[in-house]
Structure 1
Amino acid sequence: MDTGQKAGQVLLPFFKGTDAAAHAAVIERLHLSGAIIMGDNVPKGPQGQVDPAAMTAANQQLATATRADGDSWPGLIGVDQEGGVVARLGLPLTEWPAPMSFGAAGSEPLAREAGGGLAAELAPLGFTVDFAPDTDVTIGPKDPTIGARSMSSDPDAAAALGAAFSHGMLGAGILPVAKHFPGHGSVTADSHLSLPVQPATVEELRGRDWKPFQAAVAGGAPMIMTGHIAVPALEPGVPASLSAPTYQALRGLGFNGVAVTDALNMEAVNKQYPSGAAAVKALAAGADLLLMPADVDQAHAAIVRAVASGELSAQRLDEAATRVATMMTWRGRTGAPQGAAPGSGAALSAKVSAAAVTVLSGPCTGPLVPGAVQVTGGGPGDRERFAAAAARAGLAVGSGPVVNLIGYGGRPAGGDIAVALDAPWPLQESAAPVKLAVYGRSDGAFDALAAVLAGKATAPGKLPAAVGSFPLGTGCAP
């Protein structure tokens, strides 16, 4: 490969709109490793749902373009599909609850099964990489970014469940990405908007935030994502994604796979390092794959110039490109598993939610409501989904106790029963005497809620993070 080809191999850009052919031409021109599919790239049918056939065709165009130079390995066709609020692909694909469900359910086999179920629907569409799972350890309500994307506030649980989910994904033919090293769940600012500072010592990080990444390395993780977090104990004022001491720390865990940056168009990086500077700095620091540079043409040109001027060593670019090509060669040799039809994981998704429902306060047995309830709160469509689930559970809607739904980012609620549909923190100050955490807004999550309200199922989940005076592990299960 010449320098231009190597520079392309370490870039994984986004594109705008649904014109995959236009982006395929960019992939060929710049020798890019592939593309990440964002929400606006997903072709939709007349009902506003994902068009699986069109998505498959678009991904095939992009994948074909990655081989225009005669590469023997498949391209990187990536997507952010974690479950919960981070899901670029909606119906008819299975809707999964928030990853915190796995912490509440506390079952590694279930997490592994779900990782396989989620990935099995992506592989037939032509995806090779899913930027999941989020293995950050959340600190609770002071964590503004990760929240219910984290599986647990317990480092050991987050480590075991994240590794299990990743193994499930790998078994279904999708490369997982553990994120966001050195740990985004314990900072109090959002790196989409500014540069968070992680004040912990290296020793503290090893005992908390790095445990899931150590488990990922031990489990053979092919990729780990670095976050845009400044860690003074490693390198003050510099985003971890662009910091050589951070990559040294990651390699110090024994990681030999591909280190990928978080999106380089995020404000934590783009404000300070525009016009391709972030790409060069990240590569020089030790990154192997550069995700979503603000301008891929500028990033590519900047890398080529930096090698020519000596600012970036040719050896470092070789190392990065070789790691990416090696990973994808391995992915190609494993073959594509059979895959699964869109929506085939619905029963498994419902099983996850049924295992996760958590009672913080209120009865653990018997019906929580008489035969009818009133419903309020929630986001668009939540009350309609609740009503449909209530009907399936034999509950009428319109009279009786008030069930107050708290959606993503919602505030504490009154009523008779407060239900958190995402992170459970708002339950801390909710006045309702009965408090439930459901960790999802899927049909399966609402079915699990309705079954508990009607007394047709128990709530086996335990809090995966403390909620005010309710400690980690609160729940009905023994």
Structure 2
Amino acid sequence: MRPVIAGAVLALAAGAGAAAVTVGMPTRVEDEPNRPANATTRTDATKDTTPLAWGPTRGELATARELVSGWDEEQLAGQVIVGRYHGTDPAKAAKMVRKLHLAGVSVTGENVVDEAQVRETTAAVSRAVAADGRSFPAVIGVDQEGGVVSHLRGVATEFPEFARTGDAIEAKPGKGVKVTTEAARTTALELRDLGFT
């Protein structure tokens, strides 16, 4: 299952499971509309590729519900929170994630020393999620948009602010799109390599 969809479905399923009624979200996987009421053949709900109106497939929602079926309210609540922390200690971020069952953390410039420390932080948070019994990846984010919003200064490649792409594309459409695409791809690959999800 795609990790990003899995994380989103998990958080949504956790919220739907914890609340009695959630506006705009189903509280259960709908029955198959064309299936006779007396049908006895059981199918694996996790294999259903029928898309739901709000994003995931029925199968992804069923898988997410199975993953969280034995969780208590604290674990469910934690999955819809990506926390922030003060300082640069990877152990502090990991402890917070493990203790509160958080989905993950958002790293800011305040949390960054150098590349080795960033890698240790993302690894520590990933280990904390695994130690909490979760088989899916932590949500580890950072604002690394270029220009002023670059929380990994000195660690990742620094590009101009993304708003400048409009000027580049307007000046030289073909080259501007190519350069913008490559800058975005480079940022994404660097973030993934550093352990961000």
User: What TM-score bracket applies, with the shorter chain setting the length?
Assistant: 0.5 to 0.7
The 2-side partners of 1:61 and 1:69 are apart by: 12
Structure ranking higher in helix proportion: 2
What is the 5 A alignment of 1:377-392?
none
Per-residue Cα deviation, 1:191-249 (whole angstroms, up to 9, x for no partner): xxxxxxxxxxxxxxxxxxxxxxxxxxxxxxxxxxxxxxxxxxxxxxxxxxxxxxxxxxx
SS at match of 2:120: helix
Cα distance in 2 for residues equivalent to 1:113 and 1:13: 30
Q: Determine which of 104, 108, 114 is the counterpart of 2:167.
A: 104
1:36 counterpart (106, 113, 123)? 106
Give yes or no for contact 2:82–2:105 (8 Å, CA) kept in 1.
yes
TM-score by length of 1: 0.25
- Residue correspondence of structure 1 range 301-312 to structure 2 within 5 A: none
Residue by residue over 1:299-320, the C-alpha shift from the partner in whole angstroms, topping out at 9 and shown as x without a partner, is: xxxxxxxxxxxxxxxxxxxxxx
2:140 is matched with which residue?
77
Per the TM alignment, residue 68 of structure 1 is displaced from its structure 2 partner at its CA by 2.1
Matched position secondary structure for 2:137: coil
Residue among 154, 158, 165 paired with 1:91: 154
User: Residue 97 of structure 2 aligns to which amino acid in structure 1?
Assistant: I
Q: CA RMSD in A?
A: 1.3
Q: How far apart are the structure 1 equivalents of 2:133 and 2:155?
A: 35
Rounded Cα–Cα distance in structure 1 between residues aligned with 2:155 and 2:75: 37
State the match for 1:159 in structure 2.
Answer: none
Partner of 1:127: 196
Report the Cα distance in structure 1 between the residues aligned to 2:156 and 2:97, rounded to whole angstroms: 27
Gaps of 5+ in 2: 1-70, 170-175
State the match for 2:44 in structure 1.
none
Indicate the SS of the match to 1:109: helix
Corresponding residue number in structure 2 for 1:113: 182
1:92 positional shift: 4.4
| Corresponding letter in the other structure for 1:28 | R
2:58 aligns with none
- C-alpha offsets along residues 358-385 of structure 1, whole Å, 9 cap, x if unaligned? xxxxxxxxxxxxxxxxxxxxxxxxxxxx
Count of paired positions: 121
Per-residue deviation, 1:86: 0.6
CA distance in 1, matches of 2:108, 2:90: 12
Provide the secondary structure at the position in 2 that maps to 1:36: strand
Matched with 2:87 is 17
2:148 & 2:125 partners in 1: Cα distance? 26
**Partner secondary structure for residue 7 of structure 1:** helix
2:76 — aligned with what? 6
Correspondence for 1:270 = none
- Percent identity of paired positions between Structure 1 and Structure 2: 42
Task: Summarize deviations over 1:147-176 as a string: whole Å, max 9, x none.
Answer: xxxxxxxxxxxxxxxxxxxxxxxxxxxxxx
- Contact 2:93–2:121, Cα closer than 8 Å, also in 1: no
Matched, 1:67 2:136: no
Shift of 1:96: 0.5
Q: Name the CA distance, whole Å, in 2 between partners of 1:18 and 1:72.
A: 26
Q: Name 1:156's counterpart in structure 2.
A: none
Q: State the SS of the aligned residue for 1:67.
A: helix
2:119–2:194 CA contact under 8 A, matched in 1: yes
Task: Give the equivalent residue in structure 2 for 1:384.
Answer: none
Cα distance in 2 between the residues matched to 1:77 and 1:113: 23
**Is the partner of 2:131 in helix, strand or coil?**
coil
Secondary structure (helix, strand or coil) at the match of 1:23 reads helix
Tell me the amino acid that sits aligned with residue 168 of structure 2: A
Q: In the TM superposition, what whole-angstrom CA distance separates every residue of 1:296-355 from its partner, at most 9, and x where no partner exists?
A: xxxxxxxxxxxxxxxxxxxxxxxxxxxxxxxxxxxxxxxxxxxxxxxxxxxxxxxxxxxx
Measure how far apart 1:109 and its partner are. Answer: 3.2
2:116 to 53, 56, 70: 53
Matches within 5 A, 1:127-276: 127-128=196-197
For 1:63 and 1:103, locate their aligned partners in 2 and report how far apart those are by CA, in whole Å: 36
Question: Contact conserved, 2:90 with 2:117, CA < 8 A, in 1?
Answer: no
In 1, Cα distance between the equivalents of 2:161 and 2:91?
33
Distance in 2 (alpha carbons) for counterparts of 1:57 and 1:37: 12
CA distance 1:34–1:85, change in 2 (3 Å): same
Larger strand proportion, structure 1 or 2? 1
The answer on whether the counterparts of 2:108 and 2:143 sit within 8 Å (CA) in structure 1 is yes
State the alpha-carbon separation in 1 of the partners of residues 112 and 77 from structure 2. Answer: 27
For residues 369-406 of structure 1, give each alpha carbon's deviation from its aligned partner in whole angstroms, at most 9, with x where no partner exists.
Answer: xxxxxxxxxxxxxxxxxxxxxxxxxxxxxxxxxxxxxx
Alignment of 1:257-296 (within 5 A): none
Structure 1 ranges of 4+ moved more than 6 A: none
d(CA) in 2 for partners of 1:8, 1:72: 15
Distance 1:92 1:10 in 2: 29
* CA separation of 1:6 and 1:92: change in aligned 2, threshold 3 A: closer
Q: CA deviation at 1:99?
A: 1.0
SS in 2 for 1:10: coil
